[in-house]
Every structure is written in structure tokens, then in C-alpha cells.
Amino acid sequence: MSMYRNRYFLAGILLILFGIQFRMIDSFVLNEPTTRMLARVTKSTPVADNSTMTSFMMSVHPSPMKRVKPPRWLGLAMIAVGTVITCHAIVIPRHRHD
């Protein structure tokens, strides 16, 4: 198998495995730096401001973290695309170096 076939095959297998993983999870929680970066990028309301009350509440309560619930179809789509790419990698002709 050439490197061209190997890369396609690896990409397909990884998509299948990620798709299975996305089908098995219900939701996942982002850590605090990622939540703050996401709020900055999407220009949504700030997660926390720098007021005195907020700093006091942050010492009592845990850091803000966002819960992400991926759509149910995402895992199936990843599995389907990964299967097509893997089958395509098997069909790609080999290059012979004589």
C-alpha cells in the first residue's frame, strides 16, 4: 500500500471511531479556558465580568463551564463518511516500484 492509500485508510478509520464515540456520549463539558474563548469568539454575553460580587461568587462557586450536546445525527454521519473513505482507500490501485 502506498502512503496515499494509508492516509485515506487512516482518515476513514479515525472518522469511524470518532463517529462511534459521538454516538456513545450524550454531552460533554468544556473546561473554563475553552468556555471563555468560545464566549469571546461568538461575541455572546460575557461568562463573568470583573466586578467585586462576581469575584466573590467565583471563589464560592465553581468556574463557568459550558455543556455541549452534539446532535444525534453527527455520529451516524461521521461513521457513514468514514466507511466510504475507508472503502475508497481499499479500491485505490497500488503503485508498483519495479
pLDDT in tens, 5-21: 899 999 999 999 999 99
Which pLDDT belongs to residue 82?
A: 97
C-alpha dihedral over 89, 95, 3, 15, to 10 degrees? 0
- Decide: 22 and 76 in contact? Cβ < 8 Å: no
Give 26-81 pLDDT, tens digit per residue: 998 888 888 888 888 887 655 555 556 555 555 555 567 888 899 989 999 999 99
Nearest to 58, CA basis, from 68, 66, 46, 50: 50
Beta-sheet pairing, 67-68 with 28-29: antiparallel
- Grid coordinates representing 33 are 479556558
